Amino acid sequence: MAGEMKKQRASWSGKWAFILAAAASAVGLGNMWRFPYLAAKYGGGTFLITYLVLVFTFGVSLLLLETALGRKTGQSAIGAFKSFGKKYAFIGILASAVPFIITPYYCIIGGWVTKYTAAYLVNGPAALADGGDFFTGFITSSAESYIWMLLFMAIVFVVVGLGVKGGIEKANLFMMPALIIMAIGIAIYTLTMPGAVEGALYYLTPDFSKFSPELVIGALGQMFYSLSLAMGIMITYGSYMRKQDSLTSSVLRIGGFDLGVSFIAGLLIVSAAFVAMGSGDAVAAKAGPSLMFVTLPTVFVDMGGMATIIGFLFFLLVLFAALTSAISLVETLVSIVHDGLQCSRRKALGIVIAFVVIAGGIINAGYNVASFIEPLGAGSSMLDFADFISNSVLMPIVALLTCVFVGWIIKPKAIIDEVRISSKFTAAGAWTIMIKYIAPVLVIIILVAYVAAQFGLFAM
């Protein structure tokens, strides 16, 4: 039965289809609002250099591990680990839990982005630049926030429903180039604004006095989340890869795509926010949703006749980034259900749709009818709790277990042999050291730091 399922399994049409899909998964909301904030906070160029080093050492090593594991087994996370023995299935179950937690709340934020994209055309830039009242009124609404969440979900479900080649490949082929072109275009236009060049110089110039353990941990956490590690996505996407396509060159290009989009997003957003706030420290004080949904609209409204166009294009850019990541999350869920229940892909998608809609509705209620539920203390929401459990707790644990599993149980040679089917892999020795010794230590540091930060024991 397993062999029959493997034969029927979908596959990418070629190496670049996989690279584009994996890069699309990596490029998401984290690139747009968390990377610029961290760069502003940790000395601009100093953070960029640290992030660059981490992506092309720790990041691509784990990318290669997960992708090769998927291609070797032809299964999504649970099946991939279980194929080496039933007692290892629990690692796949933990990995699979991550996208099941992330997808519903990611679609809620995707709904916010969809709303703002439309609002620039319907309400106009002035309505959005009111210091945050528009944003607060929207997310706390008992009807409108649900409608936009469902609209975002519907787009994602349609693309995934069209299949790997007919839906995901075609959507990424359009959205990824459009995303990059818009990001570059808006960044260039933003740099013509008074004060923007100072922001760009602040962003690009290394300030080594800001180098600290906190900077390294911040860069590690950002890279970890941005590259879609330890959430079953790369195992699933790897399971669709053809044996003749090079794994090593593919993961290097995925890392390059992620780094490139993060860099452009940081240049755009830090420069734009610098115009409004005048200093790097002021930009660094604005993290997450407030930077994107409150601060940037106040920048765009000062662009005069171009305000509507730039605001719309910027949120369309963010929408494409959100969609590409959400598509990879939902595809991973469908693959997990399809492999686990050995049902048709259509039935698996139906089960996933029901789960994501119900879970999304419950989490979204944390901003309105269930706002009294504050799981992480005063001012926190159910979305914050889901984000903390998935990103700060489960993902580092999954990555640690995966490194121990490959490094010490099945041994690195099992993955190296898979990589060498289509690549020379001259760095196999260095990769082995990374997986066996360095990566586990870095993952433990991320886990301890993020949990400590949540309880006020460590400043992030």
Q: Which of 251, 247, 255 is nearest to 418 (CA)?
A: 247
141, exposed or middle or buried, with CB in 10 Å at 0-12, 13-18, 19+? Answer: middle
CA distance 141 to 367: 8
Q: What is the pLDDT of residues 250-278, one digit of tens each?
A: 999 999 999 999 999 999 998 888 887 77
What's the pTM?
Answer: 0.93
Q: What is the pLDDT of residues 342-393, one digit of tens each?
A: 999 999 999 999 999 999 999 999 999 999 999 999 989 999 999 999 988 9
Alpha helices in 162-246 (DSSP H): 170-190, 196-204, 213-226, 233-239
Q: Strand pairing partners for 44?
A: 206
Q: At 206, phi and psi to the nearest 5?
A: -65, 135
Which DSSP state fits 85? -
Q: Which two tokens stand for residue 282?
A: 């002021």
Q: How much of the chain, in percent, has pLDDT values that exceed 90?
A: 75
- pLDDT mean across residues, the chain: 92
Q: Which domains does the chain have, with CATH numbers?
A: 15-455 (1.10.4160.10)
Task: Give pLDDT, residue 253.
Answer: 95
CA distance 159 to 173: 12
Q: Which two tokens stand for residue 191?
A: 């740099």
Provide the residue-wise pLDDT of the chain in tens; the chain has 460 residues.
344 344 467 789 888 999 999 999 999 988 888 899 899 888 889 999 999 999 999 999 999 999 999 999 999 999 999 999 999 999 999 999 999 999 999 999 999 999 999 999 999 999 999 888 999 999 999 899 999 999 999 999 999 999 998 999 999 999 999 999 999 999 999 999 888 999 999 999 998 998 998 899 989 889 888 898 999 999 999 999 999 999 999 999 999 999 999 999 999 998 888 887 777 777 777 766 888 898 889 889 988 889 999 999 999 999 999 999 999 999 999 999 999 999 999 999 999 999 999 999 999 999 999 999 999 999 899 999 999 999 889 999 999 999 999 999 999 999 999 999 999 999 999 999 999 999 999 999 999 998 998 887 776 6
Which residues contact residue 303 at a Cβ distance below 8 angstroms, ignoring those fewer than 6 apart? 125, 193, 310
Cα–chain center distance at 456 = 25
Q: Which two tokens stand for residue 185?
A: 């275009």
Residues 123/125/130/132 CA torsion (nearest 10 deg):
80
Under 8 Å between Cβ of 447 and 401: no
Give the SS3 label for residue 96: helix
Give the SS3 label for residue 343: coil
Which residues contact residue 390 at a Cβ distance below 8 angstroms, ignoring those fewer than 6 apart? 97, 98, 101, 102, 231
CA distance 271 to 36: 10
